[in-house]
Amino acid sequence: METIVFSLLNGIIYGLLLFMLSSGLTLIFSMMGILNFAHASFYMLGAYFAYSIGSVTGFWVALFLAPVLVGVAGAAVERFGLRRLHAEGHVAELLFTFGLAYIIEEIVKIVWGKIAVPYKVPAALDFPLFELFGSQYPAYRIFMLVVSLAMLFALWYLLKRTRIGLIIQAALTHPNMVAHLGHNVQRIFMLVFAAGCALAGLAGVIGGNYLVTEPSMAFTIGPIVFVVVVVGGMGSLEGAFIASLLIGIMQTFAISVDATFSDLFGWLGLSASSELGGISIPSLAPTLPYLLLVLMLMFRPRGLMGAREF
Amino acid sequence: MNQQGTVLDTVSDLGPSRRAKFTRRVLPFIIMAVLLIVIPMLGPSRTALSLLNAIGINIVFALSFNILLGQTGLLSFGHAVYFGLGGYTAMHAMNWIEYADGGFWGSYPMFALPLVGFAGGAFAGALIGWPSCRRAGIPFSMISLGIAELVAATGLIFVSFFGGEEGITGDRMNGVEMFGLNLGQVHQVYWFIAFWTFVGTVAMYAFTRTPLGRLTQAVRDNPQRVEFVGYDPQQVRYLAFIASGGFAGLAGGMSAVNYEIFTPEALSLAPSGLVILMAYIGGIRYFAGPILGAILLTYMQTNLSDFSEAWLLYLGLLFIAMVLFAPGGLAGVVIDVTNRLGKPGAVQQFVKGLVAVATGMIAFFGVVILIEIAVRLTNGHGEVFQPFGIGLPSTSLMSWAIGVCLVAIGVFGLKFTTKQVGER
């Protein structure tokens, strides 16, 4: 019972973090057809910016300033890089963002060093909030939960209840019509790209000190975010939400299960001493998202909630 | 009847002449063979030879990748999977040869080990390819990424095949000798690598000339139309995928013999990324492009990393610059320049081009200065960057100003000159 509750809680928090990353990616992807390979690099930039700004001004200023800076960087990337490549097709854009991910990682290594920086949880939130089954639960994780849910609500409100959201939704499916109505679609694209990057930056700010802030963090989480987008379905924020939670919970549960293949499939005659039987479930946890991705693309290519195959 | 004959005659005249066929399809390979034979006569050092061996492996690997990206239009993020699986198969075969008691492996020459790698890579391609090749474009790239992560993770789980983190090792000086080579010394390995590089390159070029090779290009450009004509694009992609996996496995087999060790790192995302850079920087639209890219990047990898900590950053910048400004890669630039040389006003254009290159170099120097002083500022070794004996201390504002100024002059100049070249 204890493990289940804790895994569920941690899984939801991890899943919400994934959603914060993937929501921006999904929006950008469905709007411009660009699968931004460097999206997780903006997440990393968010964490590092927050570390640097936070060491001067404290965490709370960084919480607002770092995502804005990341958003500005994203807008610049769209304006001066991706826009030039739009006519070349999606593969060229994918290659561009792939190269960008390399460059951002190297720049981070030069500016902040090759090892992890001591980006810590702010002292104001560094205390156990409540006690459950005799173990303490850190307040910062609940803070992450609150920030993620606030972001989720804000995004939902912006997209579904405001005029801006209406135009963005229209530009998703009918960019030419929106342009004919007098909206600057290129600028909408740039703003969505910037907003998506800023969301990734925010995820970096609150996730960097929860996980670890190091130059390889982008390449660790980046592919998982792709998995979320593909599993959730093209252009579907609801799908991305479900997929994020699914993967978050699945991974935390797999880590906490203390079993091997032989325990699970012993009734098939798999012995614990054989190589296959000796594989433990926690060691498989990192591969689960990719397994899900491959299965999904093979059997249901439009994803959980996607309206069309992509 | 007579009229039909003349129509056919004119049609056949449209094809390349025998001479053009020879200079375009045969001569480059003769030059390549001559180069491969002449190089060891120049007496290269052991380091140079091992660099050449690494280049040969990467040439085959990058060319095999280009069967997918350049020819079929499939961007794979996990091509090292086939390189690695082929290499692992070859590595196991190497050990089977060593401990063989007669039988098939007892009479199998070590020299032909890359063929085992080819079989391994093609088999992996045949297994993984079918679900991957259903769609081109982004879904294909995503599946390749997922599979690459999966295989890289299994590489650490299944110790009996992949050997855990230490990998598996072997000894190449076993089995039947071929061409009198026992593969002991590095110059003997050179002949082995040169042979298989040549064979691989010719075979892959021959593949592009087959009807299947032609169809892959059609599938890249217009899959709907291919389907309309009566071919199944998925099948064409699948066959190209198997061929590409096979040649990647061939490169893996060459690597197994050259290094005598294979670790799960060979399957990971890093070499998969590097092969994308190699093929693209060289030029994916031309057959010879990946060869240029493989030579340049392997050279950079071994030599530039001694000069600068930030060599990967330079590589990334080069790649981005290529994607943005020269999608044809190095090969495209070379062909563009040679095409323009014969045209009227070539001298004028050439001068303008030189000016553009010069201003580009100014910007490049500025970038180098900025990167290098930044590296020295943060790595804490306290060195001073000294290009041409001029000391540029990282802490002085002057060095930063010089760097920024050079970049500004270069970028501004480049904008001005490229405008003129474009206007002609």
CATH number, domain of A204, equals 1.10.3470
Query: A297 and B276: CB-CB below 8 Å?
Result: no
Question: Which of B138, B327, B379 has its CB closest to that of A88?
Answer: B327
Instruction: Please judge whether B313 and A219 are an interchain contact, meaning their C-beta atoms are less than 8 angstroms apart.
Output: no
Tell me whether residue B315 is in a domain: no
Chain B residue closest in CA terms to A94: B138
Residue B39 counted as domain residue: no
User: A181 lies in a domain?
Assistant: yes
Does residue B257 sit in the same domain as residue B177? Answer: yes
> Could you give the angle at which helices B137-157 and A90-112 cross, rounded to 10 degrees?
50
pLDDT at A307: 63
Q: Is residue A11 part of a domain?
A: yes
Asked whether residue B306 is assigned to any structural domain, the reply reads: yes
| Cα–Cα distance for residue pair A180/B323, rounded to 1 Å | 31
d(CA B238, CA A310): 19
Inter-chain CB proximity A290 and B146 less than 8 Å:
yes
Residue A307 inside a domain? The answer is no
Number of domains into which chain A is organized:
1
Helix (H) and strand (E) counts in chain A:
14, 2
Whether B350 shows a pLDDT value over 90: the answer reads no
The parent domain of residue B416 ranges over 342-423
Among A48, A96, A106, most B C-beta atoms within 10 A, so best to mutate, is A106
Inter-chain residue contact B324 with A84, CB threshold 8 Å = yes
| CA nearest neighbour of B53 among B183, B245, B203 | B183
Is B163 domain-assigned?
Answer: yes
Of residues A84, A279, A290, nearest to B150 (C-beta) = A290
Domain count, chain B: 2
- Work out the pLDDT band at B407, boundaries 50, 70, 90: confident
pLDDT at B300 over 80: yes
Q: Does the pLDDT value for residue B100 go beyond 50?
A: yes
Range of the domain at A69: 2-299
Subunit contact B159:A223, Cβ cutoff 8 A: no
A96, A279, A294 ranked by CB distance to B143: nearest: A294
Instruction: Kindly state whether residue B328 falls inside one of the protein's structural domains.
Output: no
Mean pLDDT, chain A cut into blocks of 10 residues (310 residues total): 80 89 84 83 92 85 89 91 80 87 89 82 74 76 86 86 86 83 87 90 88 84 86 81 90 78 65 66 80 81 68
Tell whether A48 lies on the interface with B, counting CB pairs under 8 A: no
Q: Check: CB of residue B258 under 8 Å from CB of residue B94.
A: no
User: Exposed, middle or buried by CB within 10 Å (0-12, 13-18, 19+), for B131?
Assistant: middle
Q: Is residue B157 part of a domain?
A: yes
Residue B24 lies inside a defined structural domain of this protein = no
- Which tokens hold the place of B352? 């303008």
**Considering CB atoms only, which of B315, B320, B378 is closest to A110?**
B378
B267 and B391 part of one domain: no
Distance from CA of B143 to the nearest CA of A (A): 6
Q: Is residue A182 part of a domain?
A: yes
In a domain, A195, yes or no: yes
Same-domain status, B181 and B267: yes
Same domain, B204 and B297: yes
Lowest mean pLDDT, pick from A59-63, B91-95, B252-256, B402-406: B402-406
The pLDDT value recorded for residue B18 is 81
Residue B121 and residue B178 in one domain: yes
Distance from CA of A267 to the nearest CA of B (A): 22
| pLDDT tens column, A25-79 | 888 887 777 788 889 999 999 999 998 888 888 888 888 889 999 999 999 998 8
Domain boundary among B310, B334, B364: B310
**Predicted confidence (pLDDT) at residue B423 exceeds the cutoff of 50:** no
Compute how many other C-beta atoms are within 10 angstroms of the C-beta atom of residue B33: 14
B75 CA to chain A: closest CA distance, Å? 7
A309 within some domain = no
Chain B CA closest to residue A110: B375
pLDDT band of residue B172 (cuts 50, 70, 90) is confident
Indicate whether B13 belongs to any domain: no
Q: Is residue A54 part of a domain?
A: yes
Q: Are residues B303 and B359 in the same domain?
A: no
Looking at the structure, do residues B346 and B232 belong to the same domain, yes or no? no
Q: Are residues B244 and B110 in the same domain?
A: yes
Residue B10's pLDDT is 56
Q: How far is CA B306 from CA B50, B54, B406, in A?
A: 16, 17, 25
Q: Which of A85, A92, A291 sits opposite B150 (nearest CB)?
A: A291
CA B119 to CA B268: how far, in whole Å?
20
Separation in Å, CA of B142 to nearest CA in chain A: 8
Instruction: Report pLDDT for A76.
Output: 92
Cβ contact (<8 Å) for B313 and A286?
Answer: no
Residue B240 maps to which CATH number? 1.10.3470
Asked if A106 lies within 8 A of B313 by C-beta distance, the reply is yes
Q: Give the pLDDT score at A7.
A: 82
Residue B198: pLDDT over 90: yes
For residue A147, being part of any structural domain is answered with yes
